[in-house]
Every structure is written in C-alpha cells, then in structure tokens.
Homo-oligomer: A and B are copies of this chain.
C-alpha cells in the first residue's frame, strides 16, 4: 500500500502532540518542553549566538531571550561574550545542562516504557528510523534557512 505523504505529515504532528502530553502529564517533570527542546538544539549546534539559536529553534528572538535567561538561572548554559562583537553572546550548553537533558530523556523513557514495552524489535527499529528521518530533515531545513539568510 502506498501512503500519502501529506496525510502522513499531518498525522505525524497530530499524534506526537498527544504523545508529548502523555509524557508531560505522566512524568512529574516541572520544566517545560521548550527548555528541553532548546537544550537539545544547543547540544547539536554547539556555541551559537542567541539570535541564531532562536532561528534554529524556530522561536522569536524575545522568546529565546527568556528561555536563555531561564536556562542560565538553572546553570545549564554559559553565556560567553563574543570577542569580535560586543553586542553578541555565544550561548553554550553547560555540562550540567547536558546531564539534565539526559536525565529528562531518561525520565520520559521510564514513563513511556510500560506503554511501549511489548514492541517488537522491528517496531522499535521503525520508530528509530523515523526519528532519524525527521531529525535529518529538521537539520536540512535549518541549514537551508541559514543559507537563505545569506542570499
């Protein structure tokens, strides 16, 4: 059977919104999804300017300013003055931030595991493959956006 890409994309977003709610409500985690999302982007990008981090995370710059502020309060990032530009900061994930991110992922996994425990190896592989497909496209979309800025 052939699958319609458009339908799949819509379903993907819709279903994962519900999965996120399940994970959030089942875990007692008090931090917001945005915090973890930002940390994950930071981990993947390395030290970046706040503005670029905002664009990569697909949030507005003021929103990122607030998120970075919160992350800073937790001690999960470091703000490094940009040597060549006194206006800019380089935002870098602190080791404690990466540790917190890993702990969060572990917590999510523990909460969801019972529901997904009886997946076959093939099904787990399917999920893993999907994650990689989406991750690759997100990275490509980010790179394309960055290139578009230059043009």
Contacts and interface: CB of A to CB of B under 8 A. Distances in A.
A108 B37 contact: no
B138 A15 contact: yes
Interface string A15-26: 111111111111
Interface stretch (A72-80, A82-90, A92-100, A128-136): A128-136
Nearest to A104: B10
Contact of A16 (B16, B24, B125, B126): B16
A14 to B, nearest CB: 5
A33 interface: yes
Contacts of A113: 5-6, 9
A49 B45 CA distance: 45
Nearest to A140: B115
B19 A109 contact: no
Contacts of A151: none
A3 to B, nearest CB: 4
User: When A and B form their complex, which 5 residue pairs have the shortest distance between CB atoms, in order from nearest?
Assistant: A10-B105, A6-B109, A16-B16, A130-B130, A21-B58
22 contacts: A5-B109, A5-B117, A6-B106, A6-B110, A8-B127, A11-B128, A12-B130, A13-B19, A15-B131, A15-B134, A15-B135, A15-B138, A16-B19, A16-B20, A18-B57, A18-B58, A20-B20, A21-B57, A24-B58, A25-B59, A119-B133, A130-B130
